[in-house]
């Protein structure tokens, strides 16, 4: 065969060779994986509104910046445990015209991974604020705003949630209501919760020796400056609501700077709040309806101690620090 003279033969061989390799290397292995991978025992399929939210997620281009694949690397550990193939087993074809599972894994890590965002940030209010204008909750965010997923509040919204926007970013009237698409997208985001896998990391409750030593040294020496570990953990888990400066968002998320619970001599309530979360508390005359998630299943005792110490020694706060053993005692007490 004279390939360099018969262009049709050359191009045909390249074309069909490419198709064959695509089937052998990509399509057939993917189909085999789809057929032979079982979902994790505790995994649940998306509800109708969550499925609608997935379609909005894809249509709005969220996959262009956010991944849903946590790599087994230290830099990915704040986002959850390493991803397993079973995490995607319940994702099916979108419809008859798209007979394949949606590509939610992503490749660009411009924004944080969302595999476990429903557990990391379970506040519906925060999610709406973040969609309306990301800068309202994360000042350094480069994510675009999605105001078309909201409408002005008129007072006749029925069951639709009314979201109060911080003054600096608020439209006329100061309040908005998410559209059906906005509600579906937030429902989908809140459904993104990793099912624990024993030994996979990310949900261990055993304090690491390094973190415990840091916390103990801080307690014994009366150290009043937050260590780098606590600052990093706070930035990853807490700052999106309570802000990097500990001032919170007025009327939405309470401040930690000067807070009586944070400054209390007895750290029990402070530790319990981080372990088990809180909702509906009235602080300095303001009732905060937005729920705070608990971190008992996401952070170990040494990590929670580091966050507590960071909060108790930052932004002018000056309160006694704690050790990992203090957190262990409160965890075993179950918030009693």
Q: The tokens of 220 are what?
A: 């014994």
Is 11's pLDDT higher than 70?
yes
281-323 confidence digits (pLDDT tens): 888 888 887 788 888 888 899 999 999 999 999 999 999 999 9
Give the chain's length.
336
Q: Quickly state the pLDDT bin for 213 (edges 50, 70, 90).
A: very low
CATH number, domain 48-191: 1.10.760.10
Measured distance CA(334)–CA(268) in Å, rounded? 11
Name the phi and psi angles at 95, rounded to 5.
Answer: -165, -175
Is 273's pLDDT higher than 70?
yes
Q: 0.75 exceeded by the pTM?
A: no
What does the radius of gyration of the chain's CA atoms come to, in whole angstroms? 24
Fold for domain 209-333? Cytochrome Bc1 Complex; Chain D, domain 2 (1.10.760)
pLDDT of residue 161: 87
More confident residue, 44 or 227: 44
Mean pLDDT of the chain: 85
Average pLDDT over residues 42-64: 94
Numbered ranges of CATH 1.10.760.10 in the chain: 48-191, 209-333
* 126 burial type by CB count under 10 A (0-12 exposed, 13-18 middle, 19+ buried): buried
For residues 278 and 291, the answer to whether their CB atoms sit within 8 Å is yes
Task: Pinpoint the alpha helices (H) of the chain.
Answer: 7-22, 28-36, 48-59, 117-120, 124-132, 180-191, 209-221, 228-237, 239-242, 260-263, 268-276, 301-312, 324-333
Is 180's pLDDT higher than 90?
yes
95-116 confidence digits (pLDDT tens): 778 777 788 998 889 999 999 9
Which string of DSSP letters, residue by residue, matches 183-206? HHHHHHHHH--PPP-TTSSSS--S
pLDDT of residue 336: 58
Q: The tokens of 310 are what?
A: 């960071």
């Amino acid at each position: 065969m004279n390939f360099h003279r018969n262009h049709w033969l050359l191009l045909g061989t390249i074309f069909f060779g490419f198709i064959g390799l695509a089937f052998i290397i990509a399509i057939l292995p993917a189909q085999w994986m789809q057929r032979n991978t079982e979902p994790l025992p505790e995994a649940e399929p998306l509800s109708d509104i969550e499925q609608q939210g997935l379609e909005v997620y894809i249509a709005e281009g969220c996959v262009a910046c956010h991944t849903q694949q946590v790599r087994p690397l230290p830099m990915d550990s704040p986002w959850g445990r390493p991803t397993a193939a079973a995490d995607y087993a319940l994702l099916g074809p979108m419809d008859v015209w798209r007979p394949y599972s949606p590509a939610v894994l992503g490749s660009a890590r411009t924004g944080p991974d969302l595999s476990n965002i429903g557990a990391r940030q379970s506040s519906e209010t925060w999610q709406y604020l973040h969609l309306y204008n990301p800068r309202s909750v994360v000042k350094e965010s480069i994510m675009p705003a999605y105001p078309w997923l909201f409408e002005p509040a008129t007072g006749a919204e029925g069951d639709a949630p009314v979201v109060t926007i911080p003054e600096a970013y608020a439209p006329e009237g100061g309040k908005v209501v998410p559209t059906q698409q906005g509600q579906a997208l937030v429902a989908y985001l809140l459904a993104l919760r990793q099912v624990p896998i024993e030994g996979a990391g990310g949900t261990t409750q055993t304090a690491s020796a390094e973190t415990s030593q840091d916390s103990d040294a801080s307690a014994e020496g009366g150290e009043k400056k937050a260590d780098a570990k606590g600052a990093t953990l706070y930035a990853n888990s807490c700052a999106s609501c309570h802000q990097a400066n500990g001032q919170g968002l007025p009327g939405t998320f309470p401040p930690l700077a000067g807070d009586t619970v944070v400054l209390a001599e007895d750290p029990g309530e402070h530790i319990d709040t981080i372990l088990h979360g809180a909702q509906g508390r009235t602080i300095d005359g303001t009732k905060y309806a937005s729920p705070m998630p608990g971190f008992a299943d996401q952070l170990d005792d040494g990590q929670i101690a580091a966050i507590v110490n960071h909060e108790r020694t930052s932004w002018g706060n000056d309160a006694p620090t704690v050790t990992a053993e203090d957190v262990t005692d409160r965890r075993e007490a179950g918030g009693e």
